[in-house]
Chain A
Amino acid sequence: MNKSWTDIASLVEGYKTGKLSPTTVVEYYLERIHKLNPELNAYLTVTEDLAKQQAKELEKKLAEIDSFPLFGVPVAFKDLYQTQGIKTTAGSKVLENYIGQYNATAVQRYIDAGAIVLGKLNCDAWAHGSSGENSDFGPTKNPWNTQYVPGGSSSGSAAAVAADLCLVAAGTDTGGSIRCPASFCSVVGLKPTYGRVSRYGIIAMASSLDSIGHITGSVADSARVLAVTAGVDPKDATTSTQPVPDYPASLATSLKGVRIGIPKEYLRLGSTMTEGMDKEVEQLTDAAIDQLQKLGAIVSQVSLPHTPQSLACYYIIQPAEVSSNLARYDGIRYGHDRSAFGPEAKRRIMLGTYTLSAGYYDAYYKTAQKVRTLVVEDFDKAFERVDLIVAPVMPHLPFKIGEKVADPMSLYLEDILTVPVNLAGLPAISLPCGFSQTKLPVGFQLIGPKFSEQKLFAAAQAYELATPFHEQHPSL
């Protein structure tokens, strides 16, 4: 069939005018999944029967379409999201046969809003990684060039949206796991404010950092989805009681008067941090900043002086929380015993166990918690002067599958531009900003103060409307 929709709005319009039915849309995506997934490995589970059944049920509710904000929208979930009656593996052999016992709050909200579940998406096991290669079920391939990684840990989520194997993909971002793959696959990735979306039922990585977001093809879709997933949940005491604004209504076309800061520590980081930023990444980010200026933004430099320490801080706090959260997989309650953990999970469990152990706790964990305060204060000070901060997402281009697996530390260093946001609990959105000469995608991020998603969407939408990158798709 010829695809007549490009986003949620045009899909819903197609349903309303009778040009489309949920069943034909489901068939379109299932056909693409069957054709392309064997190569891309984005889906771990395809819920074909459920999707068809949901489509049929929605067809009876067509008269009530306006009361379902995601009516007939085909979604897929990172395999960290617990789904009732559907395998939920977290990308790990430990849970290879685990069937979800209930729906995560976010999953239930998608379904209640009328979304159709196409399946579960590949990811780095337990969300540990920034390449997708740590999945125990094989790496996901980048749809723009299948020899390259799609980024991680929400690898399947970004690849599935980029390859048009679903319209919306749910992900999680603990240290960049939504923004990194979104930038590597030229799609839109939202990491909401910590506590904006419930974590209940989503397999925990590092509980004080985990943020529940999504990947879409456009900013408008991202806003529509957050309007559904955001909000307080009695089952997650860290969710905020702040009212959920009408996100889709906050979209804008101009940036007149918006103050945007460039952290001087982020661009030209220097050789000790990231072996220097890739020239093309820097040029494309500069071009994006120029575009923001053309749209009316007032751009100035800001300073986040504890950026260099933030990565070290993250690689203490995160493995500490990982080691605690993964302690429950003891072989008694869930599937396999602890020998089934992959190398990256084992490394992080040991790092966390070590830094939390008697005699080392003060030197590592407690110090990291103090440095975390300094990172938070850096952002607080910067946001006294600017409304938003702009930065690259990843310091380098997507790399070849297998290129960095032998050197975990080199991969950790790639997180330098994403983890400060998680330490401070801020919202950020990753947007496509062009391609390298080798045709590999590059993204940049806008970062805002807590609960400033409206501002982020407005600025992101203005940028998206003025640039052509979101309209380009990989040839598959």
Chain B
Amino acid sequence: MDIKHVASLANLPLTAAEEQTYSPQLDQVLDYVQQLQQTDTAKVGETNQVTGTKNITRSDDVAACPPLVTGFIKVPAIFGDE
């Protein structure tokens, strides 16, 4: 991992000492997670949530809308007489 590049993407100010410490630690984790490449996932779908629910929305209730006049919303005038 190019640690300077990734730190700049993540907007993390790192000292030179921090770069030296984190770099081998992160490479070790990346080496470990590489093992997923060996799993055959060609025919497997992705799971991005496990709730079993979808499209949870509140009802689109516009009862509080100000009065409409020929499709326009009527609001108090903002220009004075002068």
Task: Knowing A234-B58, A312-B33, A350-B26, say if A208 contacts B48 (CB, 8 Å).
Answer: yes
Q: How far is the CB of A43 from chain B (nearest CB, A)?
A: 30
A385 beta carbon closer than 8 Å to chain B: no
Measured CB to CB, the closest approach of chain A to B70, in angstroms, equals: 35
A354 at interface (Cβ–Cβ under 8 A)? yes
Q: Contact flags (1/0) for A143-171 with B, using CB distance below 8 Å? A: 00000000000000000000000000000
Q: Which of B18, B35, B39, B53 contacts A346 (CB 8 A)?
A: B18
Interface size in chain B (residues, C-beta < 8 A): 39
- In the complex, are the beta carbons of A238 and B53 less than 8 A apart? yes
- A381 at the binding interface (Cβ < 8 Å): no
Q: How far is the CB of B45 from chain A (nearest CB, A)?
A: 6
In the complex, which residues of chain B have a beta carbon less than 8 angstroms from the beta carbon of A354?
A: 1, 6, 26, 30
Q: How far is the CB of B68 from chain A (nearest CB, A)?
A: 27
Nearest-Cβ distance from residue B40 to partner chain A, whole angstroms: 9
CB-CB under 8 A from B53, the residues of chain A are: 195, 237-238, 240-241
Task: Please provide the chain B residues from 56 to 78 with a CB less than 8 Å away from any CB of chain A in the complex.
Answer: 56-58
Contacts known (A309-B36, A316-B33); A353 close to B9, Cβ less than 8 A: yes
A312-B33, A373-B44 known; A347 vs B22 contact (CB < 8 Å): yes
Instruction: Tell me the total A-B contact number using a CB cutoff of 8 A.
Output: 127
Contact B9 A357 (CB under 8 A): yes
**B35 smallest CB distance to A (angstroms):** 5
Residue-wise interface mask of A (332-373) relative to B, using a CB-CB cutoff of 8 A (1 in contact, 0 not): 000001110101001101110111010000011011111111
Please name all residues of chain A whose beta carbon is closer than 8 Å to the beta carbon of B18 when the two chains form the complex: 343, 346
Query: In the complex, which of the residues B29, B41, B53 has the most CB atoms of chain A within 10 Å of its own CB atom?
Result: B29
A327 to B58 Cα, complex, angstroms = 28
Residues of B within 8 A of A (CB): 1, 3, 6-7, 9-14, 18, 21-22, 25-26, 28-30, 32-37, 39, 41, 44-53, 56-58
| Extra inter-chain contacts (16) besides given A312-B36, A346-B12, A450-B52, CB under 8 Å | A208-B49, A238-B53, A312-B34, A313-B36, A315-B29, A346-B18, A350-B3, A353-B6, A354-B26, A363-B37, A367-B39, A369-B46, A370-B39, A372-B46, A409-B28, A409-B29
